[in-house]
Amino acid sequence: MKRLWITGIHPVEEALKRRPENVCEIWVARKGEAIDEIIATAKIAGVPVRRVSRDKLHERVGHKKHQGVAAIIRRFEYVDLESCLKEGVEERILLLLDSVEDPQNFGSILRSAAFFGVDGVIITEHRCVSVTDTVSKVSAGALSHVPVIRVKNLVKTMDKLKEAGFMIAGLDVHANESIYTADLSLPLALVVGNEHKGLRRLVREHCDLRVIIPPCGKIDSLNAAVSAAVALAEMRRRWPILRVSSQKLPSQP
């Protein structure tokens, strides 16, 4: 399995702090206080650090927005759905992605999920982007905070969640019920559809209800990542999180 590269000061810091055993090596191509802190943390964790030229780092990671530091991560470990449900579901909020294909959107969704304290993001093995270098970079460290669960069949997973007590709500531009007035309850699984086609028919039919983020202007829809962020903000307005982590997610550089 191909190893994963994560780039940028904050994502590398988070990987070292949260899962140092998953970091194989750090590549550094600049100096500075933040870089010195990363090197010190890596040494404490026993992670080797390699100094390289910026051109070498550009070439290896495939872009120039790496802030002079990158980390090689062992294969990404997805979380098992059953183990997630064993931890209790009473106040949980899960995010289900139906055929989200754009890694930029996926990374942004993960960051929003981490910000709003989502308990897990569920994707499928097919028809959905997996965790990639780009996803990791855009998420800005969120992968260290949000469990990502990968399943074979989203509809069957929705059935399992219903059996566990979850309400399933799908974001749908054709829905008649506003997300701001809908009768929602916890535990809740919120489904976000494909960037262009929205929710697939079977997924839509398996939702307990479908809700819309009502437009106020002349544009009638938002992209998947923005829709997810707006919907999660409404969820946390209704149900403020009680278990605030002492680990703050870093600001986007």
**How many residues does this entry show for the chain?**
253
Contacts with 44 (C-beta within 8 Å, 6 or more apart), sequence order: none
What's the confidence (pLDDT) of residue 160? 96
What's the confidence (pLDDT) of residue 47? 96
Fold of 81-238: Alpha/beta knot (3.40.1280)
Residue 120: CB atoms within 10 Å: 20
Contacts with 134 (C-beta within 8 Å, 6 or more apart), sequence order: 103, 104, 107
| Domain segments of the chain as ranges | 4-73, 81-238
> pLDDT grade, residue 38 (50/70/90)?
very high
Cα–Cα dist 250/253, whole Å: 8
* Class of the CATH domain delimited by 4-73: alpha beta
Question: pTM for the complete prediction?
Answer: 0.80
**Phi, psi of 184, deg, nearest 5:** -100, 155
Q: What is the pLDDT of residues 230-239, one digit of tens each?
A: 999 999 999 9
